[in-house]
């Protein structure tokens, strides 16, 4: 059976971009794949985190996975740091990674900005740990949003480098699954910027925990242009804010962008925004409610993470042993 691995960082509230770009697709893919979904806490600490907030956020992300429809019986859910093989393979791959590959990573450039010399080494080698997350399970498919594409190319390059260097077809080359009409959800305030947890304006994003009034208000305030809605994909392309809201609608309703554009062609934004808010609330409110219920029983949630880690370790440990043998590292 093909195997999926994906993950989300526990660095605060998940937003509708995380949901439509990743989590919503995972729910559907569970039926066809052996799925491993981690909460990547080791990635979160590549920038400073408050320890109590990190613990809380890790549980919140786990609860959101389950609330959104990930079945903890069928899929494996755990936080990355509970399975030490990620970090161990991460080191082995670090030793195979040319600096030039990392220098090309646009996400590092965006995140480090002008502070290139003062940010931590972990932020720089972030994509190598991400490759280890995937390869330690010999995962074949990785469902993510568009912004992870470059990191996945690096994971494929590292898999190939390892296979060549150690003369074994050990790692399959993981395929990115960048799917649905909302692979890159943009900020509600600026159609040229990605929706992001770190945007200073909360009005730039719809959080998975926003209540109905907040969702409606954010959508009402979302930046638009003065024209009626476009009538073709071509026409939408030059109108990023319109295209973004239409893509969100399409993804929420499981429709194609083309059908959604046909449905609203020529409408006023005000009417469309009302419909979009209704659809968003209908989809997100039950997830927020379920998330709250799951978080109210921390003991049960932690048990799910522990069981997930046991299952993940049962795959990762023998794989790590085989990898160590290939590399020439003596084992006990
Ligand atoms: P993270 O935590 O930034 O985002 C989690 C997932 O959400 C997607 N995403 C978006 N999709 C559409 N529009 C947006 N505006 C948007 N913002 C975020 C991301 O593409 C991602 O799928 N490096 C990863 C976490 C990671 C990982 C992995 C993923 C660590 N190891 C192994 C896959 C496999 C990240 O920072 O995601």
- Closest atom of ligand 1 to CA, residue 195: 15
- Nearest of 244, 123, 133, 135 to residue 186 by alpha carbon: 244
Tens of pLDDT along 268-327? 999 999 999 999 999 999 999 999 999 999 999 999 999 999 999 999 999 999 999 999
Mark whether 221 and 177 lie in a shared domain.
no
Mark whether 163 and 227 lie in a shared domain.
no
pLDDT above 80 for 87: yes
- Closest atom of ligand 1 to CA, residue 5: 34
CATH number at residue 40: 3.40.50.620
pLDDT above 90 for 1: no
How far, rounded to the nearest angstrom, does the alpha carbon of residue 59 sit from its chain's CA centroid? 16
DSSP 8-state assignment for residue 314: H
Mark whether 53 and 122 lie in a shared domain.
yes
Tens of pLDDT along 56-74? 999 999 999 999 999 999 9
Distance, CA of 245 to CA of 25 (rounded, Å): 19
In the chain, how many domains are there? 2
The confidence score (pLDDT) of residue 232 equals 97
The confidence score (pLDDT) of residue 116 equals 87
Which of 6, 33, 43, 147 for mutating ligand 1's site (highest number of atoms within 8 Å of CB)? 147
Kindly report the protein residue whose alpha carbon is nearest to atom 24 of ligand 1: 8
The confidence score (pLDDT) of residue 314 equals 98
**What domain range includes position 57?**
3-183+296-327
The residue-averaged pLDDT of 218-241 equals 97
The confidence score (pLDDT) of residue 52 equals 98
Ligand 1 geometric centre to CA of 110 (Å): 15
Distance, CA of 281 to CA of 202 (rounded, Å): 17
pLDDT above 90 for 173: yes
Tens of pLDDT along 254-270? 999 999 999 999 999 99
Tens of pLDDT along 111-168? 999 898 999 999 999 999 999 999 999 999 999 999 999 999 999 999 999 999 999 9
Pocket residues: Cβ below 6 A from ligand 1? 5-9, 17-18, 21-22, 40, 43, 130, 133-134, 142, 144-145, 147-148, 151, 183-185, 194-195
At residue 91 the predicted structure's pLDDT band, cuts being 50, 70 and 90, is very high
Mark whether 52 and 131 lie in a shared domain.
yes
* Residue in the block written with tokens 């590092």: 108
SS3 letters across 210-271: CCHHHHHHHHHHCCCCCCCCCCCHHHHHCCHHHHHHHHHHHHHCCCCHHHHHHHHCCCCHHH
Mark whether 134 and 257 lie in a shared domain.
no
Which of 81, 148, 155, 194 for mutating ligand 1's site (highest number of atoms within 8 Å of CB)? 148
CA dihedral (198, 203, 206, 209) in degrees, to 10, reads 80
Mark whether 230 and 289 lie in a shared domain.
yes
Mark whether 92 and 148 lie in a shared domain.
yes
Residues with catalytic roles: 111, 194, 197
Ligand 1 geometric centre to CA of 326 (Å): 31
Mark whether 302 and 212 lie in a shared domain.
no
Tens of pLDDT along 18-59? 999 999 999 999 999 999 999 999 999 999 999 999 999 999
Residues 6+ apart with CB under 8 A from 221: 188, 203
Mark whether 242 and 136 lie in a shared domain.
no
Ligand 1 geometric centre to CA of 194 (Å): 12
- Domain assignment present for residue 189? The answer is no
Q: What is the largest CA-CA distance in the chain?
A: 69
Mark whether 94 and 219 lie in a shared domain.
no
Element (H, E) at 143: strand 141-143
At residue 104 the predicted structure's pLDDT band, cuts being 50, 70 and 90, is very high
Phi, psi of 77 (to 5 degrees): -120, 125
Mark whether 239 and 176 lie in a shared domain.
no
Distance, CA of 228 to CA of 221 (rounded, Å): 16
Q: How does DSSP assign 150-208, residue by residue?
A: HHHHHHHHHHHHHHHHTT---S--PEEE--SS-SSPBPSS-TTSB--TT-S-GGG--BT
Mark whether 245 and 130 lie in a shared domain.
no
Distance, CA of 205 to CA of 210 (rounded, Å): 10
Tokens of 201: 């304006």
């Amino acid at each position: 059976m093909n195997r999926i691995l994906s993950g989300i960082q526990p660095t605060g509230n998940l937003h509708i971009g995380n949901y439509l770009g990743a989590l919503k697709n995972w729910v559907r893919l569970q039926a066809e794949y052996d799925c491993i979904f981690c909460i990547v806490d080791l990635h979160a600490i590549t920038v400073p985190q408050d320890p109590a907030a990190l613990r809380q956020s890790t549980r919140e992300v786990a609860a959101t996975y389950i609330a959104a429809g990930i079945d903890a019986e069928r899929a494996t859910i755990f936080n990355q740091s509970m399975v030490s093989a990620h970090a161990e393979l991460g080191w082995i791959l670090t030793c195979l990674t040319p600096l030039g590959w990392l220098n090309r990573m646009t996400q590092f450039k965006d995140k480090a900005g002008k502070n290139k010399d003062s940010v931590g080494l972990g932020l720089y080698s972030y994509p190598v740990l991400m490759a280890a997350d995937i390869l330690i399970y010999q995962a074949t498919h990785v469902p993510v949003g568009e912004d992870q594409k470059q990191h996945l190319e690096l994971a494929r390059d590292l898999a190939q480098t390892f296979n060549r260097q150690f003369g074994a077809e050990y790692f399959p080359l993981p395929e990115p699954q960048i799917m649905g009409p909302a692979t890159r959800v943009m900020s509600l305030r600026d159609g040229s910027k990605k929706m992001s947890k770190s945007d200073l304006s909360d009005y730039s994003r719809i959080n998975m925990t926003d209540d109905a009034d907040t969702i409606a208000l954010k959508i009402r305030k979302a930046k638009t242009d003065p024209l009626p809605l476009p009538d073709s994909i071509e026409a939408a392309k030059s109108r990023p804010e319109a295209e973004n809201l239409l893509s969100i609608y399409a993804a929420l309703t499981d429709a194609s962008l083309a059908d959604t554009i046909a449905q609203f062609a020529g409408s006023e934004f005000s009417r469309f925004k009302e419909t979009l808010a209704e659809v968003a609330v209908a989809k997100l409110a039950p997830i927020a409610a379920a998330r709250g219920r799951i978080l109210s029983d921390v003991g049960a949630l932690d048990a799910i993470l522990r069981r997930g880690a046991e299952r993940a370790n049962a795959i990762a440990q023998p794989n790590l042993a085989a990898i160590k043998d290939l590399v020439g590292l003596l084992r006990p």
